[in-house]
A and B are shown apart, each in its own frame.
Chain A
Amino acid sequence: MKQLVILSGKGGTGKTSVTAAFAHLASQGPFADRILLADADVDAANLELVLQPRRLDTRPFSGGQVAVIDADICMTCGDCESVCRFDAIAEMDGRFVVDPIACDGCAACVYQCPAEGIHMEEQTVGEVAVSESRYGPLHHAHLYPGQENSGKLVTQVKERARQQALDESRQLVLVDGPPGIGCPVIAAVSGADLALLVTEPTVSGIHDLRRALQTVQHFGVPALVCINKADVYPKGAQDIEADCLANGINAIGQIPFDLSIASAMVAGEAVTAYRPDAPASLALTALWERVVTCLIAPDATPDT
């Protein structure tokens, strides 16, 4: 089984649209009925919006604990407020209360409270789900707004996907990754066989791509780069390709700016299914073939 993770560094470069197109293309080729999808962007889970899958199962996800003060026991000494390094405890109208959003769950206050008036409570911070999409099973999750994205939920989505892939001998897990370089990205990258970074030729895209590449390399995962909306700023696209070349990274293709991608999103379809002859669809189809080559034979250099 192979795991391909699609990342971007900067958000909004078209990562999810690329993942959806790959899911569609994979379902047509040699991977038909042998792929499985995982949406690891749990605080902006959008793959579901394009694939419009049928929910099979949803369950709560408890992401750790928060402190709760028992007002009947509390002697309002204020010790808990002074030990909390996360500014999660404050005095309000003469009572000490915990702000569950700010609470990090460290329990330092629990041990400092002289009255033993604080305990920790498990909290539900989101849900994990599995659905059936037209291109294969989809494992996804929803982190409730404002919760901590510690990577645990991402890890769980990936673990569930991997388990099902092993059980059903599916050969490819396509992971739609989160933006940035922090915990959730690290969770999404770990265990992947290959990462495809979708970037755009803007000063921000280039800057964030560098940091995302460093992160992927830090964890020893081979990386490929593709440039979306490449023709909007050709000089930027050239800079990215030169940068990749200098760092031994394969820039394997460009996708032109194409409003079909937005229309496909509105229609709830992968662009390659929605308008197969659109410029973006043609580019994605060529790109997918190169990615497959790299997945099957990691050392192969595709002809670009």
Chain B
Amino acid sequence: MIDRKAQTRKNLISLAAVLVFLALVLVLDQTIKPTSKAYMLLTVLQKGSVYALAAVSMNLLNGFTGLFSLGHAGFMLIGAYTYAIFTIPSDARDTVYQYFDAAVRVSFPETLGGALGGFGTALGVLLAVLLAGAVAALFAYLIGLPVLRLKSDYLAIATLGFAEIIRAIFQWKKLGPITNGSNLLKNFARCSTFKLKLGETTVSLSTFVPVLIATLCIALIVLLVNSTYGRAFQAIRDDEVAAEAMGINLARHKMLSFCTSCFFAGVSGATMAMVLSIAQANNFKSAMTYEILLMVVLGGIGSISGSVIGALLFISASEWWLRGLDSGTFLGITAPTVFRNGFRLVVFSVIIMVVVLFFRKGIMGDRELPEALRKKTKRGEVSGNE
């Protein structure tokens, strides 16, 4: 029934494509200088990675398990803070925690770097990223315990409330020694400082690292979705009664999906801190959750490649293609001043509305990229439209 050879071949092609992509990013990372105009491409890749991972992790829950959560920004906040707190070097700590006496005095990259050299530093960063995901997953578990037993609408309300509360708690003065109150966290291990020294030459990794993290995590989610657990999630989404009747423990599987989704949201938050070089609770408003939701819907609910495409298009448009609108020039036209500040957002909203109108199931529907390409050549059809 399963053609194993064809399957292996497909897996190898996907793997090769991913490796080529990563190599390309590494090359771009070296060749594009911060002063050049094309540097925007690197910014898009960095932020795009963060949001692609966030969107895919949200899709795992909303699209593949049929559980609607609106707390993504909150879990990303937890991830960003966990990562930042555990990677601030000790000599920078007192400058960062200006008004508080820092409680956490360990820096993973520093400690491990001291013991193992450059490899240890990288390991420390990795450890902090994993911890960021784990702490987010732990919070998800605690919320899930009472809420996942209720009807799924409650999850949306509970997670939305959680995200708002957690943002307030992280800015609370009493927690200042840990979170630095309403001040931002900085000077932790960030992308702009990631470099690889090979003898004389230095290889910049500032774009490569976030892209690599996102790629690995998304690959894991793809594997999960195709595993028997992922199929069980989809069975719950398609027909909960039938899933339970076939022996799938609903509470356990919903919890697994929720915690996994939030783990990757935490990792995405950590990556965001890495990319932006700062972590500040106030940046993680529920508007961020809606943006991510929009990327998922644009790309297609239930399509992982759709979420990636949605995120990359969204970030490209808002950070790059439409940038000129705010300064009054676009495609060489100089617009009157009315159309300046904020006009970008107006155009952006219109574009999104048009896309949603014409691709009702998102760009990809619930299909994946290889499948869509195959179907396209066969039937000359493009979108998941009815």
Q: Does chain A bind chain B?
A: no
